[in-house]
Amino acid sequence: MRCDFADSLLQGYFDGELSDRRAAEFERHLRNCVHCATELVDLDLLRDSLQLAQLYEPATASLRRNINARLHAIAPTTAASQPLLWHWLAAAAALLLVAILLGRVGHGLRSDDYQTELAGEIVDAHVRSLQSGPMTGIASDDERVVKGWLDGRAGFAVPVRDFANNGFALRGGRVDVIEGHAVAVLVYERNRRPINVFIWRTRQQDSPLRTGSQQSFQWVDWRKEKMEFCAVSDVDPVDLEQLHQLMISSALA
Amino acid sequence: MSELSVEDRERFEQLVLPHVDAAFNLARWLLRGRSDAEDVAQEALLRACRFFGGFNGGDARAWLLQIVRNTCYTWLEKNRPMELSMEFDEELHEQTTATPEALAIIADDHKRLTLALETLPPRFREVLVLRELEGCSYKEIAAITSIPIGTVMSSLSRARRQLYFALANSSQGACP
């Protein structure tokens, strides 16, 4: 016999879609309903399985090529061709530069190619967050509020700490997508500059701090307790290392 | 009708093209194959391009995914109409009781999860893909699939149960 709540509030609660009032109502119910408690555990397992299996399939290179080709075929030509040509030449030059730079990085860090590529994606995500819309899905300096919002969406227990006393003020959090995976992001502010800390689950061993820079942004990356952390910003690299220290010594990360 | 101004094309590139991954992923799971997904996602992107004048500047991903979904369903109706009336036999599956442990063992088995997800009828498969892989909110899923938010919630509930049972069965070797 299933519980009546199972089809309605339970799903919304699990997905972090209930209003505070409804969530509190469900939590009261949860204390006395073994069925819903068990089902929540099952839902967690199911979400874990889906996340771990990496089912997301990003667009193929040929699809991107075809779309770009078709898009250019249907856009007007004559009047705009001149500025557009320059536009594309500039883009091509920039790509070439990136290719050269990547080639160099590749030689120096061959064993860490993957890491470098990943850091590139994360720096891109950082840049996206600066360019479009609000940086936070939840804007709050309250650890519990941010954690409550993030946990449901990221699908794991996200360690959230405010370090305002140390000059790293928590501004909120959001969920971003890196390589097709949902990643929790904590947003801090240091000397009025934003810092994004990307956090996702990993099956890899703990690792010490690695640092690097791309597109004039600094990143620091470490793994601890089956989670990987990557902080990105244009603040002083020393500041990012300090944030790393704070996070690992807060015993949460 | 397919003429786009340079301005519109740039806006399209900025707003819509970043969601090509999302478009392909949804098509891949609705059509259960990469090759068909590539064709249909491309067609959907071109339709989006043509309809771009009607885009009111809201959530570009939801707007694009709605077009992708419609294009996929049109394709399925034409090429594989049986799939749209496909049902998942919940009663049959519920007869097998699997422990959470059984589920955990296959937790990271890509192939089994893929097969299990593909046994779900499209309307349940799509809400799971949008929620779990694409990270859409209920509101976004409602907009993409044109169903009320309450139905999103109950569809997710059924979809998750179906997937759970499909996985539990596959871990017992009932449907390899």
Q: Is the interface score ipTM higher than 0.95?
A: no
Contacts of A56 in chain B (CB under 8 A): 21, 25, 133-134
DSSP state of B129: I
State which residues form the domain around A23: 4-52
Residues B91, B167 share a domain:
yes
Contacts of A63 in chain B (CB under 8 A): 20, 24, 38, 41-42
Q: Which of B83, B118, B140 is the last residue of a domain?
A: B83
> Is B176 domain-assigned?
no
Residues B97, B140 share a domain:
yes
State which residues form the domain around B73: 6-83
> Per the CB < 8 Å rule, is B107 touching A49?
yes
Instruction: Report the Cα B10 to chain-centroid distance in Å.
Output: 28
Contacts of B164 in chain A (CB under 8 A): 42, 46
Burial class (CB in 10 A: 0-12, 13-18, 19+), B8: middle
Contacts of A57 in chain B (CB under 8 A): 24-25, 28-29, 34, 37
Of A11, A43, A45, the CB nearest to B153: A11
Residue B98 has pLDDT above 60, yes or no: no
Residue A164: both structure tokens together: 């305002």
Indicate left, alpha or beta for B174 from its phi (over 0: left) and psi (-120 to 50: alpha): alpha
Instruction: List alpha helices for chain A, DSSP H.
Output: 9-14, 20-32, 34-52, 61-74, 81-108, 113-131, 143-154, 237-249
Helices (H) and strands (E) in chain A, counts: 8, 7
Question: Which of B:31-70 have CB within 8 Å of A?
Answer: 34, 37-38, 41-42, 45-46, 49
Domain total of chain A: 3
For residue range A181-229, list pLDDT tens digits in order: 678 999 999 988 899 999 988 777 888 888 888 777 888 999 888 888 9
Burial A178-208 (b: 16+ CB within 10 A, else e): beebbbbbbbbbbeeebbbbbbbbeeeeeee
> Is A58 domain-assigned?
no
Write down the mean pLDDT value for chain A. Answer: 79
Residues A130, A162 share a domain:
yes
Read off the pTM.
Answer: 0.57
Question: Hey, is the C-beta of B124 within 8 angstroms of any chain A C-beta?
Answer: no
Q: Which of B53, B83, B113 is the last residue of a domain?
A: B83
For residue range B51-94, list pLDDT tens digits in order: 888 787 889 999 999 999 999 999 999 999 888 887 777 666 65
Amino acid at A221: D
